[in-house]
Chain A
Amino acid sequence: DTGVSQDPRHKITKRGQNVTFRCDPISEHNRLYWYRQTLGQGPEFLTYFQNEAQLEKSRLLSDRFSAERPKGSFSTLEIQRTEQGDSAMYLCASSLGVAGAGNEQFFGPGTRLTVL
């Protein structure tokens, strides 16, 4: 499968614990995005990378959230001291990052986080 993959697919954790999610983009894609989606809403942008550089972060991304893409390939999203409000689907997407047709995003299957 050459699409975007995410791991784990599901995560249940207790409030206050730290969690880390991984995303592997399509191999030739240089842009990688993280989104959060709750029931009945569209995906909300969290952050994105151009290669290894984190170019933009949403105001939604509190200091408990951190994302990395150390070698410009896979990325991790860490949430520290999880809260019940962090429960959501966390989606990763990648794109070629060029103008025109190349900026369509391809999404991974998501990681569903439940904070108890």
Chain B
Amino acid sequence: RKEVEQDPGPFNVPEGATVAFNCTYSNSASQSFFWYRQDCRKEPKLLMSVYSSGNEDGRFTAQLNRASQYISLLIRDSKLSDSATYLCVVRIYGQNFVFGPGTRLSVLP
């Protein structure tokens, strides 16, 4: 089993739709969680950290479920500019960052 798993997609949604991605991780000792966004042929950029109580940043909401070992990202009111690959990232304290394979999102006009 891979350390971090994501549905590769693609998710094709119309503008204005709400879309959700899940990510599962295998190591229960994981302590830090992030969502990164990567545009085609560009470097990953931090979208948001994921906190235990869940957190929101504008149209984006991240949730963590430690018992089931998954994190989620919800995007409301999708924009064309949200089209990208969303990478789930997990870290055990003092160790390296493990990236998932990413989920591709295409927001259609």
Contacts and interface: CB of A to CB of B under 8 A. Distances in A.
Interface string B41-71: 0111110010000000000000000000000
B96 A43 contact: no
Given A33-B97, A42-B100, A106 B8 contact: no
Q: Taking chain B's interface residues, is the majority helix, strand, or loop, or is none over half, making it mixed?
A: strand
Contacts, number: 45
B12 interface: no
Interface string B30-48: 0010100000001111100
Contacts of A103: 32, 91
A48 B44 CA distance: 17
Interface of B: 4, 8, 32, 34, 42-46, 49, 87, 91, 93, 95-102
